[in-house]
Structure 1
Amino acid sequence: MAQVVEILQYRLRAGSGERFHHIMQQYSVPLHQASGLVVLDHGISLHDPDSYYLLRLFDGMAEMEQVLQHFYQSQAWLKGPRAEIVGLIEESHRVVLPYQSGHYR
């Protein structure tokens, strides 16, 4: 089974990068981890304080879709940080790449 890494890039509302990062660190990433998701990295982009990235690792495409569906339908997400996180995002992009031995192919 080939692992995959999902890269999410967010363009945030002007001036909200620090708030978004706080929510990610305090609520979203711990919720991801408690749900069994592997967060490789997350943070504010070096080029823009209102751009953000999130990298997650999965054991293949099918597992990724199943785990994410379960996560995003959970009450912990829906009643937790979802509304505030979504409210700060202007635009998002998703890329999924093969992952092997700690690097992308």
Structure 2
Amino acid sequence: MEIVEIRNYFIKNSKRNDFHNLVEIGSIPMLNRWGVKVLAFGKSLHDDNSYFLIRKYDSIKQRDESQNAFYKSEEWTTNYDKAIMELIENYTTSVIEIDKFEQIHTQKK
């Protein structure tokens, strides 16, 4: 069962541009190299501190294994973990079946 993970970040005041730069030049290219399908990412329109990341995985198991390896990798821990995490106030994660995501997306057209 394919899934979509939607991560919503609340970034510390006045730090969203710094966060975006780190994501855009660091973590997104890294995710791509690791074979993670990033569907969308960026600054949320509704306030100055929100940010989103939407990723697609083949299954919950594949997501767990992929994220476990990615976030424990030397590249992540050395280059991005501290710099990115220091900018995040908190975040939430939602995981849904891709079929339900596509149904909702299709209904809005």
Would you say how many aligned residue pairs link Structure 1 and Structure 2?
A: 104
Give the superposed CA RMSD: 1.5
1:102 deviation in Å? 7.2
Identity of aligned residues (%): 29
TM-score (ref. length: structure 1):
0.93
Residue in structure 1 matched with residue 34 of structure 2 by the alignment:
35
Residue in structure 2 matched with residue 20 of structure 1 by the alignment:
19
Runs of 4+ deviating beyond 6 Å: none
CA contact 1:18–1:49 (8 Å) conserved in 2: no
Kindly indicate whether residue 58 of structure 2 is the aligned counterpart of residue 59 of structure 1.
yes
Q: Which amino acid aligns with 1:89?
A: I
Higher helix share: 2
Distance in 2 between the 1:38 and 1:82 partners?
A: 20
Residue in structure 1 matched with residue 107 of structure 2 by the alignment:
none
Q: Tell me which structure has the larger Cα radius of gyration.
A: 2
Distance in 2 between the 1:32 and 1:42 partners?
A: 12
Distance in 2 between the 1:12 and 1:101 partners?
A: 28
TM-score (ref. length: structure 2):
0.90
Distance in 1 between the 2:52 and 2:60 partners?
A: 20
Q: Which amino acid aligns with 2:75?
A: A
1:104 deviation in Å? 5.5
Matches within 5 A, 1:5-16: 5-16=4-15
CA contact 1:8–1:93 (8 Å) conserved in 2: yes
Higher strand share: 1
1:49 deviation in Å? 1.9
1:100 deviation in Å? 3.1
Segments of structure 1 that go 5 or more residues without pairing to the other structure are none
